[in-house]
Amino acid sequence: MTVDDTGSGQGAHPAPDGDPRPAEAGNPRAAESGSADAGSEKPDEPDLGEDSNPLALRLEQLILGADRRYTPFQAARSAGVSMELASRFWRAMGFPDIGQAKALTEADVLALRRLAGLVEAGLLSEAMAVQVARSTGQTTARLAEWQIDSFLEGLTEPPEPGMTRTEVTYPLVELLLPELEEFLVYVWRRQLAAATGRVVQAADDEEMVDRRLAVGFADLVGFTRLTRRMEEEELGELVEAFETTAADLVAAHGGRLIKTLGDEVLYAADDAGTAAEIALRLIETMANDETMPELRVGIAFGTVTTRMGDVFGTTVNLASRLTSIAPRDAVLVDGALAEELVRTGDAPASETEAAALAEKAEKEGEEPPAYRFALQPMWQRPVRGLGIVEPWLLARRS
């Protein structure tokens, strides 16, 4: 929650004996008294808009597992951190400004204490701790919104006439909460193990941060026109079907879905062959679905900077530009990815060379090279911000 970071005034509770400083290393007296002050007061229910609804308060207490008992200033003081640092953490997690309302719990204090402890121990810099808070907040915020909008909405349909959706919500959350919490931790550990494994296999320390990846964009053709013709519900179902199909295909074939942007998905793969296979699978799958618009894909290969689960750099920009000029139901790749496919034996340098090798193998009674992909050079063209590029049309070999 973003808070008033003045630390005094606007409802802030000063420390005893006129000492207004928040508890920090140089002010242990404020830390001791701050915890006692906050803990001795009875929890109240401040008017915070929709939170003043009794059911909303009961659900909040059920989910958080604790009562409201601290103002932001009291929470920072009890955690032994400055209001400035507490404000940075809360803002990074994406919570709204609550001024100095008494709305925080023991869990909020513990979270502040843990993050600050990692900084004090030298395990994380302050900037990195804020990044941890921001990336976790952004990811879980999206997950929570999806669960409420889609998941819980369907499950809270009243089972009997006369019952309201509200009456069903509390017992449902009570049953689901521990199971979903365990599942969330399981998936996070699995993803963390996979990500760690990929990083430690990097060739050197520099590549652990700036890595060579294949990056692909897949974009629905004519999506803007569709938004004018389709009802909102139909459009939402189409986008969900596209994102679900793309996510499943990317994961099944060894790629990683970086993000979805409605009519566009961004994915990455450690090698060129995996990225190319995913691109062609996407085109083939969407082409067989009459409800889906046509698709175009652009892929580039090179050094990529990763931050907070996203990817940045010239390679990403080039993949995006290639997508914008790709023909319908086709895949364009850059020269670096084409070279990588040739180097790994996934595609021939040219069809003339492929034919010559096949003829030679036939004469010698051997199996010809088994190429997965075909590459066709396209006309060089200027690409905004990237100069002249020579795209290659990627296809599957029969």
**DSSP assignment of 337-351:** HHHHHHHTTSS-S-H
Q: Is the dihedral of CA 131, 137, 140, 142 positive or negative?
A: negative
Give the model's pLDDT for residue 159. Answer: 66
Which tops the pLDDT comparison, 268 or 44? 268
* Pairing verdict, β 295-307 and 330-333: parallel
Spatial CB neighbours of 166, under 8 Å, sequence gap ≥ 6: 55
Question: Quick one: 168 and 247 in the same domain?
Answer: no
Do 327 and 298 contact (CB within 8 A), yes or no? no
Does 35 score more than 90 pLDDT?
no
Does 25 score more than 60 pLDDT?
no
Indicate the residue among 201, 232, 258 that finishes a domain: 201
Residue 381 lies in a domain: yes
Question: Quick one: 95 and 191 in the same domain?
Answer: no
Indicate the residue among 117, 132, 147 that finishes a domain: 132
* Tens digits of residue pLDDT in 68-105: 999 999 999 999 999 988 988 988 898 877 888 888 99
Residue 237 lies in a domain: yes
Question: Quick one: 81 and 163 in the same domain?
Answer: no
User: What is the CATH classification number for the domain harbouring 329?
Assistant: 3.30.70.1230
Give the model's pLDDT for residue 392. Answer: 95
pLDDT band (50, 70, 90) for residue 153: low
What is the CA 324 to chain-centroid distance, rounded? Answer: 23
Residue 145 lies in a domain: no
Residue 5 lies in a domain: no
Question: Quick one: 38 and 87 in the same domain?
Answer: yes
Task: Tell me whether residue 157 is exposed, middle or buried, using C-beta atoms within 10 angstroms of its C-beta: 0 to 12, 13 to 18, 19 or more.
Answer: exposed
Place of tokens 């790709």: 326
Per-residue pLDDT, averaged over 43-63, amounts to: 65
Question: Quick one: 28 and 168 in the same domain?
Answer: no
Name the residue among 250, 248, 227 with its Cα closest to residue 238. Answer: 227
Distance (Å, rounded) from C-alpha 386 to C-alpha 319?
11
Question: Quick one: 247 and 388 in the same domain?
Answer: yes
Question: Quick one: 283 and 190 in the same domain?
Answer: no
Residue 6 lies in a domain: no
DSSP letter, residue 138? H
Question: Quick one: 223 and 366 in the same domain?
Answer: yes
Give the model's pLDDT for residue 29. Answer: 36
Question: Quick one: 128 and 265 in the same domain?
Answer: no
What is the CA 5 to chain-centroid distance, rounded? Answer: 29
Spatial CB neighbours of 20, under 8 Å, sequence gap ≥ 6: 7, 8, 14
Q: How many structural domains does the chain have?
A: 3
Residue 170 lies in a domain: yes
Give the domain extent around 72: 16-132
Question: Quick one: 358 and 235 in the same domain?
Answer: yes
pLDDT band (50, 70, 90) for residue 43: very low
Question: Quick one: 86 and 193 in the same domain?
Answer: no
Distance (Å, rounded) from C-alpha 319 to C-alpha 380?
15
pLDDT band (50, 70, 90) for residue 322: very high
* Tens digits of residue pLDDT in 344-389: 999 998 888 888 888 888 888 888 878 899 999 998 888 777 888 8
pLDDT band (50, 70, 90) for residue 117: very high
Question: Quick one: 167 and 97 in the same domain?
Answer: no
The whole-chain average pLDDT of the chain stands at 80
Residue 252 lies in a domain: yes
